[in-house]
Structure 1
Amino acid sequence: MKEDERMSNQNSTGKKQIQDIPLSVLDLAPILQGGSAGESFRNSLDLAQHAEKWGFNRYWLAEHHSMPGIASAATSVVIGYIAGGTTKIRVGSGGIMLPNHSPLVIAEQFGTLESMYPGRIDLGLGRAPGSDQLTAMALRRDVRRNGQEFPEDLEQLRSYLDADSSSKAVRAIPGEGLNIPIWLLGSSGFSAQLAAQLGLPFAFASHFSPENTIPALNLYRNNFKPSKVLDKPYAMVGVNVFAADTAAEAKKLATSHQQQFLNLIRNNPGPLAPPVETMEGIWTEYEKAAVLQQLKSSIIGSPDEVEEKLQAFLNETQADEIIVTSGIFDHAARLHSFEILSALKNKRKN
């Protein structure tokens, strides 16, 4: 049976509407200023439980290291926590940075997760380190590796999960023979090309690499080769969404995320800060241009504005699925932003 048959059987006739495609959640388990990692995990579980109730398709967590504002470094552990507190939503990685790990260890970890929560685990893989060079060294990763070995690591990982691996000297137990969907993640063309060659689903990080979105999607779709996994391309695209009852409120909520990216530009990462009335006086004109350029695909506004902008984003990308992230400081406001999205997703068509 094809992996996630719905991927290859969507209606491709006519103009896609938001109501026609799945919406999913990408969570970086933000650590709040004045908060703790434990609080972040509890907030993530609460959001996942609400997302499940509201009909979101999957809930992914991202691997980052040595980041004071991100709690999901032990990504597989957090995936297990979220999966254990939900019942049906798919849970996975967006993504695991494979160069940081032995392919065998990842096969075993996700084999364990799939064995615990059958039919609900996704394995999204990236080739970036998700850290700086010093952190990469602390991870016991060969810093001379620059991601070019990613195709070989991926092939080795897939071989461990293959049902025909029982004759091999080294086996992933649990792992081998399990149907764990593998996605390739990217912010440029490398993984798009590889996903196309292997016939795998592809997720693109438009939420921080908007300039490369359309070229990467075109590369993936134009070079796609059908496989045992997929008959045709399946692309999920990431986007930042900040939805609130009013445009002014949404604009204020988005300043927490803008401050976080500003700190990255300044090479001074920190916890997610509370929103401010205005960013003027906090960033320079150069910094403002850099942050807004990197976040230009962000969708900010009232429910009507978010619906219009999200539909325009879908029209441009023709995504098969959209995965939403939102760096909102106040947990209740973050929940409400996703609640607004769920209402748009479930809105009756005219």
Structure 2
Amino acid sequence: MKAIETTGLTRKFNNITAVDDVNLTVDQGEIFGLLGPNGAGKSTFISMLCTILKPTSGTAKVEGYDIVSQASDVRRSIGIVFQDPSIDDKLTGMENMELHADLYDVPRDVMQSRIDEVLKLVELEDRAANFVNTYSGGMRRRLEIARSLIHYPKVLFLDEPTVGLDPQSRDHIWNYIKDLKERENITIILTTHYMEEADKLCDRIAIIDKSKIIALDTPKNLKSKLSGETIVIESSDNQLLSDKLAQGKLVDNIMVIDKELILTVINAHTALARIVELAVSLDIYVDNITIKEPDLNAVFMYYTGREIREGGGSEELSGMAARMRGRIQ
């Protein structure tokens, strides 16, 4: 049995299609990522699987239970960490845990041991008696993860679990998520717009954009589909340099984003000399050059023609970038 199965899953809000005909399966014990900018449909998709929203059409099963006709069974099988904080900061950490355990009918004879177990998992056992309003952002997120595990869920949904956290807290949460998979034998569905987060945590990733899943594979396979290396150039005239490179067919792919000219080439060090020579001949001053291996950000740009920004939004590529992308499809 698959942890999650969807068939033609669709959700519309009036004339807007938020999730469009999604078909996928998620294996038990897998960390499965949904990668995309804000507004792509990630949270709506998760909300349907968690029975918060009903689909407009299509079906889905979570742990074998239909999300519409067996919604109560689905809820008992899942844990949720919402994107927005949902912990009561006027209660202590322990009181929050006890309240959630009561809501999920955790038996009294095992409640305390289970609370102690999950608080230890997220390293909050020493702060259980403190009010949540004294917790840092990272500690609150860890408490939310602990709370979502109290009733032994089979599937855990994490909706942007590290949004707004500092890099150190984000790294800690990543470690907890990886431990969860092993210790709790749990399936984790993760939505994120952080490329590094998806790359480090997920067994497979679905890239979702404009309500549709447009690519699905392991992080390694997605990156391997982009052959060659990436050269990022900042120059005095990116557009002119881009146009001349396209005419001369010196590179495989060209994108212009803000002040950066992003090129895909087979051999970066060989191509670089010709690129710099061309820039000099055009009286274009090159401010900075970086060479790097393909990453998930490059994968996302390839499939969508846009870049995900740190805040979760996306930036359209220039007309030249869009035209060049069309040449390699």
TM-score (normalised: structure 2): 0.33
TM-score (normalised: structure 1): 0.32
- Higher-Rg structure is 2
